[in-house]
Amino acid sequence: MTHTLRNGTRTAWAALGGDPALVSRVCGVVRPGALPARLPVMGLARACVGVCALAAAELGAHRTGREVPRVRVDDGAVATAFTSERHLLVDGRAPVSFAPLSRFWRTADGWVRTHANYPHHRAALTAALGLAAEPSVDMVAACLAERSALEVEDAVYAAGGLAVALRSAAEWAAHPQGAVVAGRPLLRRERVAEGPARPLPPLDGDPALPAQGVRVLDLTRVIAGPVATRTLALLGADVLRVDPPGLPELPDQHADTGFGKRSAVLDLEVRADRRAFDDLLEQADVVVTGYRPGALDRFGLSPEALAERRPGLVLAQLSAWGADGPWAGRRGFDSLVQAATGIAAAEGSAERPGALPAQALDHGTGHLLAAAVLRSLTERSTTGGTYVARLALARTAAWLTGPAEGLVEPSEAGGDGPDSSSSTAYDGPGPWLAETDGPLGRLRHALPPFSFTGGPVNWSRPPGPWGADLPRWR
């Protein structure tokens, strides 16, 4: 059953500064059973994907002079895309998910969640605990069982690792970082400097994709940022991901989020590589960063420095905990934010913490980030200026755990509205998966989570090897 989705989409679209009248252009197919959870995860996913699709359709209409087309958000496609890393197959091989030391652990007074998928984070965790370089799960469990959750949280972070004590929503609200996050909007998108209008060239080709001709410098890692830039690549942007040497992305994660992009390696500590990066920046339309606030400032990549160096730039910043507060400089991942903000407690039981049915904070924030870029490109085309968008996983979590009315459709809440019981139930990801051959092998992967007239149906290119491309624009 197809009907207009209004609640969460209206909230997110307003946060993006979009024309309220355009929300009626978003239609959805409700499929009971998609992303089941106690919290309104499906509503969040629909809304984030819906505004991303609408922002793409708006940009395309602006560049062609046509009316903004209706966009379609199908629960099945959204649920499949939000779990894309689980559906990936590489030559028939299932992906490697969380490492053995990335999990919940019982402590002397509660629970703590660690993240040790990357070798340097695993090394920091074991060093903080005073254990051997490659401890067994049982060794780590025995060590943590003797310590308090907050003691572990502080010790591991001090060592450069990642660990977060499990908190309830009330405990997070009382935490200084939780209080700061609660006082912030869902996202911040600002015009930080004046400048002439920079209209994008007319679209050509079939399909004429909305972001065609846009150059995106991708300085992100893991899931949320790469999902945003994967979406921009889907929409026709030339996306070049740049990573430092010696810190490769996890192979399966790269395969899942690398569609449509190219991947280069540059060491900004080396003069020649720095010059190559500066040349890229000089011609970029968009820079997307996913490192903790302040981490790139020493390279002249703070928002203020970028706005001065590259007037007319669209800068999108993603962080785990937000740009303000005592945890602003901390690293974080979706699973850790779930643990800190009360989500894991809400989805769990008295015996054990739980988790969302998808890494929805990553995927949801990634689509919001892409939407913020697209809306900024549309506005830059007419009013000019330099734009900065700031998003955080913790702020998306606050939306999810807040009043449910913003994320639940009328039919799901039992009020007036279409009867979702007459819709087709979600029966697995099959219809929204595809297979693509490429340099990494034959990939089974999730298809895009939205559609609209003139929009893409799949990525133009599969991912290639990490760091294998030259650092230059096409």
Return the active site residues.
362
DSSP 181-238: HHTS-S-EEEEEE-----PPPPP-SSS--TTTT-EEEEE--TTHHHHHHHHHHHTT-E
Q: What is the dihedral of CA 294, 471, 253, 102, to 10 degrees?
A: -40
Decide if 401 contacts 33 (C-beta within 8 A).
Answer: no
- Tell the burial category of 36 from Cβ atoms under 10 Å away from its Cβ (0-12, 13-18, 19+): exposed
If one counts every other C-beta atom within 10 angstroms of the C-beta of residue 103, the result is 16
Cα–Cα distance for residue pair 121/162, rounded to 1 Å: 7
- Half-sphere CA count of 374, side-chain side, radius 13 A: 35
Decide if 233 contacts 459 (C-beta within 8 A).
Answer: yes
The three-class DSSP label of residue 437 is strand
Token couple for 368? 């919001």
Q: Which residues of 331-362 are buried (b: 16+ CB within 10 A; e: fewer)?
A: bbbbbbbbbbbbbbbbbbeeeebbbbbbbbbb
Cis before residue 210, ω within 30 degrees of 0? no
For helices 41-64 and 393-401, angle between their N-to-C axes, nearest 10 degrees: 120
First to last CA, the chain: 42
Please name the residue that has the structure tokens 């939780």.
Answer: 178
